Amino acid sequence: MPADYDPKAFYDGLVRHGLIVPVGVPGAFGRGAVFEDVLERFNTLVSQLARDDGAEVFTFPPVISRDVLEKVKYLESFPHQCGAIYSFFGKEAQAKALAARVNEGKPWGDLLGITDVVMNPAACYPVYPSFSGTLPEGGRLVSMLNWVYRHEPSAEPTRMQSFRVREFVRAGTPQQVLAWRDLWLQRGLVLLTSLGLPARSEVAADPFFGRGGKLLAVSQKEQQLKFEVQVPVVSAEEPTAVCSFNFHQEHFGATFGIRTADGRTASTACLGFGLERIVMALFKTHGFEPGKWPAEVRRRLWP
Ligand code: ZN
């Protein structure tokens, strides 16, 4: 594998080796069996790291309540990434009009109405409402593997509209939550470097919308609320974020009425492994054929 970085060549290589399957929309390709095998094996390594942490395991669908998106003020920060779900609420006559518009190749979105669900934009969002009330003494820890949606169609293969995140959410006192986040930042780096990936951690910011968003990003960086682990996949200068570690302070605790055992507003943190991006980092670093990967990497993934 040459050490140059070319998003198009990398995408074409993934397709040529049957690792991803184009579906005609940028950022929404299918995944082949070998791609999925690597993804599941990496996810298993994460589970092994978390084995003794006592996390509750939740599974959520790829949609969440629109109410949650509104409560966390997602549209103030990330209106450009939102995926609201619209459906048809009309009667017979409107249905005919809708079909006619579609058949004529005309726009038809205005004949739909907003539903109560939206595509889930962050793997951890569905869990916070379930924490409302008083936490047990040691706080809570949840593990999830969720599909998330971001409206950012791109030909660049690591920028997907829909992807999976292996996510953990911790709620408790600020000390509990921060110690846990720092532990995982170390664990994440060790795990990725053990797979031969040139991973490094950086203070980071979320892609807030607009001019006001630039200020939010500066403040987020100053307070070191977000760290990412990055690996070069499509660019040497701008490595791809493959894990993120986020301290939300009391944001979700206050929004959803989550309290610690001693009655204070709870702090929360989450961390997520971007599973497709990690798999792509492995293919970029070690080549498109896992049979030819370095022996020590193969031993980790296929023990
Ligand atoms: Zn999260």
Q: How far is the CA of 272 from the centre of ligand 1 (A)?
A: 6
Q: How far is the CA of 207 from the centre of ligand 1 (A)?
A: 14
Q: How far is the CA of 170 from the centre of ligand 1 (A)?
A: 10
Q: How far is the CA of 270 from the centre of ligand 1 (A)?
A: 5
Q: How far is the CA of 125 from the centre of ligand 1 (A)?
A: 7
Segment 218-242 mean pLDDT: 93
Q: Is 160 exposed, middle or buried (0-12, 13-18, 19+ CB in 10 A)?
A: buried
Q: How far is the CA of 216 from the centre of ligand 1 (A)?
A: 17
Segment 46-52 mean pLDDT: 97
Residue 200 tokens read as: 């490094």
pLDDT per residue over 123-140, tens digit each?
999 999 999 999 999 999
Q: How far is the CA of 271 from the centre of ligand 1 (A)?
A: 6
Gap between the Cα atoms of 271 and 279, Å rounded: 18
Q: How far is the CA of 263 from the centre of ligand 1 (A)?
A: 24
Q: How far is the CA of 248 from the centre of ligand 1 (A)?
A: 9
- Compute the Cα dihedral for 210, 212, 214, 217 and give only its sign: negative
Q: How far is the CA of 87 from the centre of ligand 1 (A)?
A: 28
Helix H or strand E encompassing 267 = strand 267-274
Segment 260-269 mean pLDDT: 97
Q: Which pLDDT does position 63 carry in this prediction?
A: 98
Q: How far is the CA of 167 from the centre of ligand 1 (A)?
A: 7
**C-alpha separations of 36 from 9, 31, 196 in Å:** 21, 6, 19
pLDDT per residue over 67-112, tens digit each?
999 999 999 999 999 999 999 999 999 999 999 999 999 999 999 9
Q: How far is the CA of 85 from the centre of ligand 1 (A)?
A: 21
What are the residue boundaries of the structural domains of the chain, listed by start?
7-83+121-301, 84-119
Q: How far is the CA of 158 from the centre of ligand 1 (A)?
A: 18
pLDDT per residue over 242-257, tens digit each?
999 999 999 999 999 9
Q: How far is the CA of 233 from the centre of ligand 1 (A)?
A: 22
Q: Which pLDDT does position 172 carry in this prediction?
A: 98
Q: How far is the CA of 300 from the centre of ligand 1 (A)?
A: 27
Cβ neighbour number for residue 293 with a 10 Å cutoff: 21
Q: Is the pLDDT at 2 greater than 70, yes or no?
A: no
Q: Is the pLDDT at 1 greater than 50, yes or no?
A: no
Q: How far is the CA of 268 from the centre of ligand 1 (A)?
A: 10
Q: Quick one: which of 154, 244, 163 has its CA closest to 204?
A: 244
Q: How far is the CA of 105 from the centre of ligand 1 (A)?
A: 39
Task: Output the average pLDDT for the chain.
Answer: 96
pLDDT per residue over 162-188, tens digit each?
999 999 999 999 999 999 999 999 999
Q: How far is the CA of 297 from the centre of ligand 1 (A)?
A: 28
Going by pLDDT thresholds of 50, 70 and 90, the confidence category of residue 3 is low
Q: How far is the CA of 131 from the centre of ligand 1 (A)?
A: 14
Gap between the Cα atoms of 65 and 197, Å rounded: 37
Q: Which pLDDT does position 50 carry in this prediction?
A: 97
Gap between the Cα atoms of 195 and 144, Å rounded: 22
Q: Is the pLDDT at 208 greater than 90, yes or no?
A: no
More confident residue, 215 or 70: 70
Segment 199-221 mean pLDDT: 89
Q: How far is the CA of 108 from the centre of ligand 1 (A)?
A: 34
Q: How far is the CA of 181 from the centre of ligand 1 (A)?
A: 12
Q: How far is the CA of 165 from the centre of ligand 1 (A)?
A: 9
CATH architecture of 7-83+121-301: 2-Layer Sandwich (3.30)
